Structures are given as structure tokens and as C-alpha cells.
Amino acid sequence: MRAFVVTGPGRTSVEDVEAPAPAAGQVIVDVERAGVCGTDMEFFTGDMAYLRQGHARYPIRIGHEWCGTVSALGPGVDSRWLGRRVTGDTMLGCGRCRRCSAGRHHVCGDRFEVGIRGGWHGALAERLAVPASALHALPDGVDATAGAMAEPGGNALRAVESAELAPGARLLILGPGTIGLLAARFALARGAEVHVMGVTRSSLAFARTLGVHGAWTAEELPHLPWDGVIDATNAPDLPARAIELVEPGGRVVYIGLAAVPSTVDTRALVLKDVTAVGILSASAGLARAIEEYATGMVDPRPLVAATVTLDALGAVLAGTRPDGAGPGPKIHVDPRP
């Protein structure tokens, strides 16, 4: 089969590789759609922290936002999975440790992450091997575009839930990228007043089309009481800024990661009685995100600007916007021949 491979910083190829065979407890998925994430960009640039920490190495087959159809079953897998449209959890815990037993497999110390950590091959390929235990079935009302947005959606939903907003509360989201805008959609669906802070006029204009109550640059941001702040950026200065902005007694949710360390003054947290929450992974939010897509409560599809082939992906990672792309922040790949 064909698979997209990052061979080193700034170097990629589409290669003919051996097609996966399902081990016990695994299935093979024929990938229909896969998303390109900021983590994939970090592997392309060489900035991904796992490369320095020894959790990942080149060459790496990336891709962790995906959907497709189960085409083969390994020993021990329920036959009802065959032929089903699915997406799946990125985080694959060991299943034996204390964290996995407590339902926190996404922070298992021995976990694999599909297309990211531990050498588990990713979904930017024609086929993907994944444990059946990680699968989530897609309802008929969730098409390929929405299905491949389940993983970022689960992340964004967890961020919104962690902000613990009452109906009518005012939420500020830092960063109008995919996660930030999905968080805006989930928060709007829950009755929050949602504002977005960003950098470029085009991204802020697009955010306004999604129904947010305000979209601002840092210089324009009004002095309003923000009941919650979600930092969905990679800017090292904004974690501290989020604490400055949030109301005393409010909540700050961190889901973005900077390439260099950010500094937060814990005195500001204590003296404002702020609760700060970190979010890693979509795991606990996947099922609810899929459900909200299926019911039409949240529609992620306007965020997808274009769908390209595997052969065009290298140029996308290098910063080329596909011809005819819409205004959204997300690029999808259809890896099928």
C-alpha cells in the first residue's frame, strides 16, 4: 500500500510499504479520510517534543485524525465490526497499569499514540491497523469529513467541559485554529457567549462566520469579565496572559502547546483563586463529540478548507495552501488510490 512518511525535518515521501495484517484484537481499516494536525506539522519541522524525548523517531508515518471502514479482523475481534464505518482513539494504553485500570489510558506511561508515539504507524496511508478496543462506530449521519474531525472534536469538547461554564457565561478562546474554533462551536451549542482572540484578520473574519459573539486581535480585545479562558495556541506568552484575563474564581483550560517553555506565575493563580486545567487527548470526549455531530448539535465540516491526495501533502506541510481552498484552518487527505 501507499503511505506518507516523514523521513526527517523538512523531508517527506510517499512510499510503497507492506500492508498491515491484523494481530490478535486488532482490525484493519481502509482509511477514507485523515486530517493534518499541528502535531504533524511539528514532526515535519522537527519541533515535536517526542523526538527529543525518545518517544518518536524518523522515519515516521504520521496521521491520527481519521475515519474509514473495517476491512479485516484479527483473532478475537467481534465479527460485527467487519464492514463498519469507524474512527478511533489515538491513545493506546497498555491496559495493565494503574492508570489504564482507572480509565486514564491516555496518560499511560507505556502508551502508543497512533502516528505519533512508540512507532505505531499512522493513518496517512491507505490502511491502518488499530485495536478493536479503540474503535468508535460512526452513525450514518456522520460523513467522512465529520468522521475525521472526531479526534480534534473530542479534544475541543473536553476543553469546553473543563471550563465548567454555566449557560450565558462568557468564554474567551485564544487561537482561532481547528481546536479553538471547534471549542467555540461546542461552547455556543451550550449557550455560552463566545469570543475568540487571534492574530490574522482572515482567521478572525472566518470565526465570525461561525457565530461567535466577538473576534478580536490582542490590541482590540475589550475589557470584559471572562468567566473562562481556553488557550488553544502555541504562543509561549499566552498561558500567563490567560490567567491575567480570566475572572477571579474562573477557570483556565490549556490545550495548546508551545515549542518552548511557558512561564506561569502561580501567585496569580492563588491570589485570583483560579483553577487551571490541562487537556491531553480526545479519548474521554470522542463518543460525545460523535454524538453531537450525528445530532447536528455541532457541525465541524465548515472548518475543513480542502481535501488533497497523499502526493500533495508534502507541499501542504511545507506551507503551500491548496488551490481553491476555503477559509477554514483544517486540511484533509483522501489516501485512497
pLDDT surpasses 90 at 95: yes
DSSP helix/strand/coil, 300: coil
* Domain membership of residue 236 as a residue range: 155-278
* 249 located within any domain: yes
Q: What span, in angstroms and rounded, lies between the C-alpha atoms of 271 and 52?
A: 36
pLDDT tens digit sequence for 32-61: 999 999 999 999 999 999 999 999 999 999
Q: Do 253 and 216 lie in a common domain? A: yes
Beta bridge partners of 331: 306
Q: Do 189 and 245 lie in a common domain? A: yes
DSSP helix/strand/coil, 73: strand
Q: Do 183 and 264 lie in a common domain? A: yes
Q: Cα 249 to the chain's mean position, in Å?
A: 28
Q: Do 108 and 184 lie in a common domain? A: no
Q: What span, in angstroms and rounded, lies between the C-alpha atoms of 159 and 248?
A: 19
Assign 3-class secondary structure to 283-295. Answer: HHHHHHHHHHHHH
Beta strands in the chain (DSSP E): 2-8, 11-16, 26-35, 65-73, 85-88, 91-92, 112-113, 127-131, 135-137, 170-174, 193-197, 214-216, 226-231, 246-254, 275-278, 304-308, 330-333
Please indicate, yes or no, whether the overall pTM of this predicted structure exceeds 0.95: yes
Q: Do 207 and 123 lie in a common domain? A: no
pLDDT at 28: 98
Q: Do 135 and 219 lie in a common domain? A: no
Helix axes 38-45, 310-317, angle to 10 degrees: 70
pLDDT tens digit sequence for 205-222: 999 999 999 999 999 999
Q: What is the mean pLDDT of residues 161-166?
A: 97
pLDDT at 127: 98
Beta strands in 17-123 (DSSP E): 26-35, 65-73, 85-88, 91-92, 112-113
Q: Do 143 and 167 lie in a common domain? A: no
Q: What span, in angstroms and rounded, lies between the C-alpha atoms of 128 and 120?
A: 10
Q: Do 73 and 99 lie in a common domain? A: yes
* 289 located within any domain: no
* 20 located within any domain: yes
pLDDT surpasses 90 at 248: yes
Q: What is the mean pLDDT of residues 270-282?
A: 98
Quickly state the pLDDT bin for 253 (edges 50, 70, 90).
very high
* 292 located within any domain: no
Q: What span, in angstroms and rounded, lies between the C-alpha atoms of 180 and 233?
A: 8
User: What is the tally of structural domains in the chain?
Assistant: 2
Q: Do 6 and 143 lie in a common domain? A: yes
Distances (CA, A) of 154 to 13, 66, 148: 30, 13, 11
pLDDT surpasses 90 at 156: yes
Quickly state the pLDDT bin for 259 (edges 50, 70, 90).
confident
pLDDT tens digit sequence for 113-124: 999 999 999 999
Q: Do 211 and 266 lie in a common domain? A: yes
Mean pLDDT, rounded, of the chain: 97
- The CATH number of residue 116's host domain is 3.90.180.10
